[in-house]
């Protein structure tokens, strides 16, 4: 996956062969922020403009801008999975939070 980062916001980048442009979409937000450009320089500029506009809109509305991730994650898993994860964490000498964070980081890195 090709990405760009600006002000801690991450965008996935793809090439649209049909229109011969690069297309980006900001990840990790409920709202949809997309942008495009014909060159990498234009794409980066449009990404920065899109994020800056998003932040300005939030400021004008008096609301805190949504962050890509807060660091808090609520999961609902079957009790068997919860129990197995707890045992694995304890066996590794870690808290469930530490263990889960490492497992999620490893999985996210493998997917990137």
Across the chain, mean pLDDT equals 92
pLDDT at 16: 95
Confidence of residue 72 (pLDDT cuts 50, 70, 90): confident
Non-local (6+) Cβ contacts of 4 within 8 A are 10, 11, 13, 24, 43, 44, 47
pLDDT tens for each residue of 7-51: 999 999 999 999 999 999 999 888 899 999 999 999 999 999 999
| pLDDT on residue 108 | 84
**How far is the C-alpha of 16 from the C-alpha of 36, rounded, in Å?**
10
pTM more than 0.75: no
User: What is the three-class DSSP state of 23?
Assistant: strand
Residue 71 has pLDDT above 80, yes or no: no
Reported confidence tier of residue 112, pLDDT bands at 50, 70, 90: low
Q: Which helix (H) or strand (E) holds 57?
A: helix 40-61
């Amino acid at each position: 996956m090709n990405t760009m980062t600006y002000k801690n916001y991450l965008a996935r980048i793809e090439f649209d062969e049909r229109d011969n442009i690069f297309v980006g979409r900001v990840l990790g937000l409920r709202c949809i922020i997309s942008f495009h450009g014909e060159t990498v320089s234009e794409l980066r500029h449009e990404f920065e403009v899109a994020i800056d506009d998003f932040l300005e809109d939030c400021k004008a509305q008096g609301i805190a801008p949504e962050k890509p991730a807060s660091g808090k994650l609520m999961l609902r898993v079957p009790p068997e999975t919860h129990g197995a994860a707890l045992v694995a964490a304890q066996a590794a000498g870690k808290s469930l939070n530490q263990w889960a964070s490492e497992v999620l980081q490893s999985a996210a890195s493998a997917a990137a």
